[in-house]
Structure formats: C-alpha cells, structure tokens
A and B are shown apart, each in its own frame.
Chain A
Amino acid sequence: AQSVAQPEDQVNVAEGNPLTVKCTYSVSGNPYLFWYVQYPNRGLQFLLKYITGDNLVKGSYGFEAEFNKSQTSFHLKKPSALVSDSALYFCAVRTAHTGRRALTFGSGTRLQVQP
C-alpha cells in the first residue's frame, strides 16, 4: 500500500520569506511524486513532479521540491513567498509500476502567507 504524510495542517510565513511544506511518503518500489495546489472553489492544479534524475525539481510559480530517497521525503519549497501563494497544497505519490496509476494524496497543508 502507498501512503503520504503531510505533518503540518497549516504553515504560516511572511511575504518574502522562504517557505517549506513537508511531505513524506511510503510506496512499493520507486516513487513518482507530485505536488498539487488547490485555490478556493477550484480544482487541483499541478505544480511539479519527480520521476527520476535530478533530486531537485522545479515547477510552476517559482516552486521547487527536493526528493530525498533515504528520508522518503519530497518537501515543497519556494525561496520567497507571495501572498498569492496562500492556498491548500497536496502531495501525492504513485508507484512506478506501469499498470498502476492511482495517486495517493496527503491530507493537505494550508499555506498562509502574511503581507
């Protein structure tokens, strides 16, 4: 079985400061890891993914995430937060097995960026 843990329900950060949203995962075999963002009354918007290769992946809106295999983590980061980054962030994992594409999501972390 695969699972994702997002240990923080909410992260508060001041505008201009760096932000980190934490994610750890469990999956059989190699993981494919994803971050999605959800704005109020909107769907899940893809931010970035790790499939293979470079452990640091860059995505939309200046976000990046670092894959750490030994710690089974995939934390989302941004060097300088914007008020407009305030939203609900979901980490998701799936196995690299070709026949199984189901994503397992974490419970989400609400990011609040204060002006």
Chain B
Amino acid sequence: EPEVTQTPSHQVTQMGQEVILRCVPISNHLYFYWYRQILGQKVEFLVSFYNNEISEKSEIFDDQFSVERPDGSNFTLKIRSTKLEDSAMYFCASSDTSGTQETQYFGPGTRLLVL
C-alpha cells in the first residue's frame, strides 16, 4: 500500500539555523499538507499546497516558513531561522482530488528539536 514518507525521522538544530524537512507524498496525490504537533498538544494545521502554490495556511505559518515542490516527488518545509518553540513533530500529508472528500494520509513525522 502506498505511503507518505518523511526524512529525516529526527533533526536536532541550533536556534537560528535553517532546517528543511522532506516528504515524499503518495505518487498520484496532488494536495499536500504540513501539520505539527508540539509535545503534549494537539496536531495543528500549517499549510496546504496544490498546483504549485499555497492554497491555505494557518496563522502559525508565518514568514519564517516556506514550502516547495522542487521536483515531481518531493515536498519540503523550510524553517528559515528556527526558534525554541519550533520544536515539535512535523507531519506531512497528501490527498488525491477525487471530489472534495479526499482523505489525508499522513507520514510518520519528523521530530525537530531546536536547542
């Protein structure tokens, strides 16, 4: 069964550094998403991406965040200057475009720790 994959599984970085989290969505899916889960808190929506542009974003997704589909398979989340409060599990998800009822399928997550 096709799966969403994410790399790396864990990332440790220093405050102020840039990080890029990578995702390979399910191959025939066209909608891509990033969510995050701060330890002990809810899973929160960050951004959705379709047709090479952001289709929706939350207030969390400020100027320090960006997303890109650099090629036909990868979908990335960049955090330009990490802060301590960016420490969280970041989940990528993808869905197809069969109507608007599509299910979002999630990857295993990248645990980001900012020191």
A positions within 8 Å CB-CB of B: 32, 34, 36, 41-46, 49, 51, 90, 92, 96, 98-108
Contacts and interface: CB of A to CB of B under 8 A. Distances in A.
A46 B108 contact: no
Given A99-B55, A103-B35, 20 more contacts: A34-B103, A34-B104, A41-B108, A42-B108, A43-B106, A43-B108, A44-B106, A49-B101, A49-B103, A101-B31, A101-B33, A101-B55, A101-B104, A102-B33, A102-B48, A102-B56, A103-B45, A104-B45, A107-B41, A107-B42
| A interface secondary structure, majority | loop
A36 B56 contact: no
Closest 7 CB pairs of A and B: A44-B106, A43-B108, A102-B45, A105-B43, A43-B106, A51-B101, A98-B100
Contact of A103 (B41, B100, B104, B108): B104
| B interface secondary structure, majority | strand
Given A100-B56, A105-B42, A36 B106 contact: yes
14 contacts: A43-B4, A43-B6, A43-B106, A43-B108, A44-B43, A44-B91, A46-B104, A99-B55, A101-B33, A102-B33, A102-B58, A103-B45, A103-B104, A104-B45
A49 B95 CA distance: 14
A101 B108 contact: no
Contacts of B45: 102-104
B103 A43 contact: no
